A and B are shown apart, each in its own frame.
Chain A
């Protein structure tokens, strides 16, 4: 039987947890919350070529991960969509690995076009890439992902102002609105107010994906966003997710933002996530 796209989220979450557990470091919570987004993007939405990987990506849709700490979900989905071998996931955060703690181009990992980790920079890079595509007459799109906490960085709003004012309408930026950041909920740390209204005020066409952990809802939302491109405004998707989604004791809290599960916790978590497509060999 041909694997279904619906088999992927559970397997990707297993990858995330096993990768983070193996080195007892990394960021599982945000990765699990954005699993459906990554699966939808790489297995349904993006017009892309995984191999051979082209850094320039002319003639392809591009994705820039701005909140680079959710590298586990990025790596899992890149591997499972053919950018590099699934087996390489076992090298995550280990010495001499291409799978650095935060994504980099420096080690030559296919699929990564910019280093990220220091927050707030990816939107500017994506705006530049979107402008480069227009200059080259390439009608493919540029996608980004940002954390809601990341929006506290000032550079995001420099880029948002530019993209709205200069009508960068081949750009779709998704905000992972999980309401959590490392120190606590965004409401406790720095209340974000109405994120959609903020982007709208900067000249963006704003929409919501209310069920950000429902794969089909995310696919449908991204299609709606694509339909809005080319109309003089960049597109902002406020995507409502639950950090740590998929494992009952990890969901909906900031606790698992940057904490690895213990042996017992890993066993308990994996028991909730069917091995649909086969684990990478440890």
Chain B
């Protein structure tokens, strides 16, 4: 059985808010922008404590991204905050030209990603954002798994020179990673050791993968669960070391199959070590309204679906 326990459900967006507040207190170069979702992004504490370093842009995401690029002057480190859909798809060209191509040190922080946004429905449940962002040259892409890791990642990306996309979510989920663990960009974390199958997960599905590993363990299948919170750059070394041992891979993510973590891992394995693989991801469809748990089940992303994917890959 995996050794992790839920220290109390918390939302990852609150991890972002806590990390941003700490940055405000420790790094005077950090500034923040928000497009009328300060409460939803948990940026209100930063805004209240550092009003001169907080820029409310109104509902104008394209302008917010451009403004963030301009704000980098003098070594400022702008953090933009809005929902993941409005952080990426809505402003893709602004990020592409004014941030990524121009090499600006902007941190694009995106909440309410994926199906677990829940009742708001598919207009807001972006499932393409990781693909959009990872295709941009020079963009770092991170999807942490819980409150603690989101807070740590928020603090770490301020030290990284270059544009970053940081994706997190709305619902309260298990908080199980150590509170004091510094985040290292590009380093995947092996959460359980096992020799039968490698499960690569990120975001909210890391906990589902751990639950799946427990279920598999009781059936005598030993899964190695790896938290691939950084999608780009991908931790090839950790991936290949695990796959060398297991020879079987399942990926799990709250994203389209096209363009997500599984897609990155499939590409890496195809080039370095062709390996039987199954992908737990949304398969070319939009989401819909519902509770996060209902949606994860309906779209095939919960622990039971990860178990089923492991069973399939073991027969190949």
Residues of A whose CB lies within 8 Å of any CB of B are 56-58, 62, 64, 104-106, 114-118, 120-133, 135-136, 138, 154-155, 158-159, 161-162, 165
Contact = CB atoms under 8 A, between A and B. Distances in A.
The range of chain B's interface size is 20 to 34
Contacts of B62: 120-121, 124, 154-155, 158
Q: Is the interface of A mostly helix, strand, loop or mixed?
A: helix
Contacts of B76: 132, 135
A121 B57 CA distance: 15
Given A131-B55, A135-B53, A121 B94 contact: yes
A56 B74 contact: yes
B97 A118 contact: yes
A89 B98 CA distance: 24
Interface string B75-109: 11010000000000000011011100111100000
A132 B70 CA distance: 8
B78 to A, nearest CB: 8
A115 B60 contact: no
A129 B57 contact: no
Given A121-B97, A162-B57, A162-B58, A114 B67 contact: no
8 contacts: A114-B104, A124-B63, A127-B66, A128-B67, A131-B71, A158-B58, A158-B62, A161-B58
B53 A117 contact: no
Contacts of A64: 70
Given A128-B69, A132-B73, A132-B76, A155 B63 contact: yes
Contacts of A161: 58, 60
Contacts of A121: 62, 66, 93-94, 97-98
Most buried by A among B52, B55, B57, B67: B67
Contacts of A125: 66-67, 69-70, 98
**Most chain B CB neighbours (cut-off 10 Å) among A116, A120, A131:** A131
Contacts, number: 113
A18 B103 CA distance: 31
B66 A58 contact: no
B70 A104 contact: no
A88 B178 CA distance: 55
B68 interface: yes
Given A114-B102, A115-B102, A131-B55, A155 B73 contact: no
Nearest to A117: B97
A159 B97 contact: no
Contacts of B223: none
Contacts of B102: 104-106, 114-115
A162 B71 contact: no
Contacts of A165: 58
Contacts of A154: 62
Given A106-B101, A158-B60, A128 B70 contact: yes
Given A64-B70, A136-B73, 18 more contacts: A58-B73, A58-B74, A62-B73, A106-B102, A115-B101, A116-B97, A121-B62, A124-B69, A124-B98, A128-B67, A128-B78, A129-B71, A131-B71, A132-B70, A154-B62, A155-B62, A158-B57, A165-B58
A132 B74 contact: yes
A173 B78 CA distance: 23
A117 B96 CA distance: 12
Contacts of A120: 62
Contacts of A118: 93, 96-97
B53 to A, nearest CB: 7
Contacts of A123: 66
Nearest to A114: B102
B75 A56 contact: yes
B31 interface: yes
Interface centre among A120, A128, A130, A159 (most CB of B within 10 A): A128
Contacts of B58: 158, 161-162, 165
B72 interface: yes
B239 interface: no
A128 B94 CA distance: 14
Contacts of A56: 73-75
